[in-house]
Amino acid sequence: MALSGKIPRVVIAATGSGVGKTTATVALIGAMRARGLKVAAFKCGPDYLDPTYHERAAGVRSHNLDGWMMGRDAVVATFARASAGADIAVIEGMMGLFDSATPTGDDGSTAQIAKWLDAPVILVTDASGVARTIAAVAAGFARFDSAVRVAAMICNRVGGRGHLDLLRAVRPEVPIVGGLPATTDLAFPERHLGLLMADESNVPQRLIDEWSRLAAEWLDLNPIIEIARSTPDLEVGNVSSSNRINSSARPHCRIGVAYDAAFHFYYEDNLNRLRALGAELVNFSPIHDRELPEVDGLYLGGGYPEAFARELSSNGAMLSVIRSFAGRQGVIYAECGGLMYLTAAIRTLDGVQWPMAAIISGVAAMSNRLQAIGYVEVETRADSILGPAHTRFRGHQFRHSTLEGADSGGRIDTVYSVVPRWGGAPFAEGYRVGNVLASYVHAHWASNPAVAEALVGACVRSRVARQPAA
């Protein structure tokens, strides 16, 4: 399938983490939407939370673009599909512009995505306490990699109009297309994994609206739009069949997706792959629902089960039906928070143990300190619901809990061999009980589309096996 077209696009990158690129991205998207533009939104890297802010501002789903987990073909194909029909595409970077999965290259970086998409970069910098030094920042980023076009800068946390005028008077070689004033009363709420999910209960609409208003007032929107429109046609080329999404596929299985305040970490690309393979996805809430929908499999994603441990533990009806589903050889695939929910209990920071589904032995114990972060590569050591032994895929870990007391005991197998991207010895993980497979790894199936196919196939076989004989 050949894809190409004129897709105005711009990458909103940063000098480093914490300088306000998510705020600037949300503000810019909101201001463009207020102008009547249809905006497609994207997030570089593995982050699940920033895309929820994009969605609030743009009114459409935001898609992750991760160079290391997805590879070029899948990144470009995902971008082209999700940008179809949009007036402009806004891509938020991760960390600093050139930070990557390796200290010596750009694999997995925002810069890599900018190159693959031939997209100009607008650099967000924290300008508080800065004057002439802005010229050195601009020069360094503009000259570091000639294959990346740093087209403009947004100066965040400026002290006022006078400060912004001073920064422009320095005449940096990368032009300044506005700034955003320092403000604390509009800050987005955070917890230990970063920003809270941007639903209405956490992020009132007034915050999104106010940042959109500030962007319209403080940013030079016309030059920014012109920068985006200056991009050449994007030649996607021939997209391999593994990266095509055929929305006309007829459903032949139903998969329940846990989705509520406790579980909402999913890559949209993963969900789209399941749909393309004929799976009908049905959301349910482990917090509120007392029964499962009629499904052939369950997908329990990550999230904040520790923050809702009381509510999850109190819903004994849902815990019971999930245990029953597993006992009847129903397919359950769980990642991180989903794994925690399937354990015997979650122990919160106050020392209280909240009983959970008790399908996976052991206790998910929370810690004040980060327990794992970074990219990983997985190879399965045995056949599983994700495919035959030696199936490989890539993913990411970011967690504050550990699984204590999980032992095989002849009942639980570990079928993953996990290799950290930053080095270190492989370790066994991927806890399997019957047709249940749970792990701390957040997988991205663009790294191996056969995994999604295997999961759908397992759901179909499970349904057939559980049907009563005629």
* HEC string for the chain: CEEEECCCEEEEEECCCCCCHHHHHHHHHHHHHHCCCCEEEEEECCCCCHHHHHHHHHCCCEEEECHHHHCHHHHHHHHHHHHCCCCEEEEECCCCCCCCCCCCCCCCCHHHHHHHCCCCEEEEEECCCCCCHHHHHHHHHHHHCCCCCEEEEEEEEECCHHHHHHHHHCCCCCCEEEEEECCCCCCCCEECCEECCCCCCCCCHHHHHHHHHHHHHHECHHHHHHHHHCCCCEEEEECCHHHCCCCCCCCCEEEEEECCCCEEECCHHHHHHHHHCCEEEEEECCCCCCCCCCCCEEEECEECHHHHHHHHHHCHHHHHHHHHHHHCCCEEEEECHHHHHHEEEEECCCCCEEECCCCEEEEEEECCCCCEEEEEEEEECCCECCECCCCEEEEEEEECEEEECCCCCCCCEEEEEEEECCCCCCEEEEEEECCEEEECCEEEHHHCCHHHHHHHHHHHHHHHHHCCCC
Q: Are residues 228 and 256 in the same domain?
A: no
CATH code of the domain containing 268: 3.40.50.880
Q: Are residues 231 and 320 in the same domain?
A: no
CATH code of the domain containing 120: 3.40.50.300
Model pLDDT for residues 424-445, shown as the tens digit of each residue: 789 999 999 999 999 999 999 9
Q: Are residues 231 and 254 in the same domain?
A: no
| Predicted local confidence at residue 347, as pLDDT | 97
Q: Are residues 205 and 270 in the same domain?
A: no
Q: Are residues 36 and 162 in the same domain?
A: yes
The rounded mean pLDDT for the chain is 90
| Predicted local confidence at residue 440, as pLDDT | 97
Q: Residue 196: which pLDDT band, with cuts at 50, 70 and 90?
A: low
Q: Are residues 234 and 264 in the same domain?
A: no
Residue 415: pLDDT over 80: yes
Share of the chain above pLDDT 90, in %: 78
Residue 374: pLDDT over 60: yes
What is the extent of the structural domain holding 122? 2-238
Query: Which one of 44, 155, 253, 336 is the catalytic residue?
Result: 336
| Predicted local confidence at residue 3, as pLDDT | 46
Q: Which of 209, 238, 267 is the last residue of a domain?
A: 238
Residue 171: pLDDT over 60: yes
Q: Residue 83: which pLDDT band, with cuts at 50, 70 and 90?
A: very high
Residue 271: pLDDT over 60: yes
Q: Which of 184, 207, 238 is the last residue of a domain?
A: 238
Q: Residue 222: which pLDDT band, with cuts at 50, 70 and 90?
A: very high
Model pLDDT for residues 304-354, shown as the tens digit of each residue: 999 999 999 999 999 999 999 999 999 999 999 999 999 999 999 999 999
Q: What is the mean predicted confidence (pLDDT) over 91-117?
A: 92
Residue 194: pLDDT over 90: no
Q: Are residues 124 and 169 in the same domain?
A: yes
Q: Are residues 287 and 226 in the same domain?
A: no
Q: Which of 238, 260, 289 is the last residue of a domain?
A: 238
Model pLDDT for residues 124-154, shown as the tens digit of each residue: 999 999 999 999 999 999 999 999 999 999 9
Q: How many domains does the chain fold into?
A: 2
The verdict on whether 44 is a catalytic residue reads no
Q: Are residues 234 and 254 in the same domain?
A: no
- pTM comes to 0.89
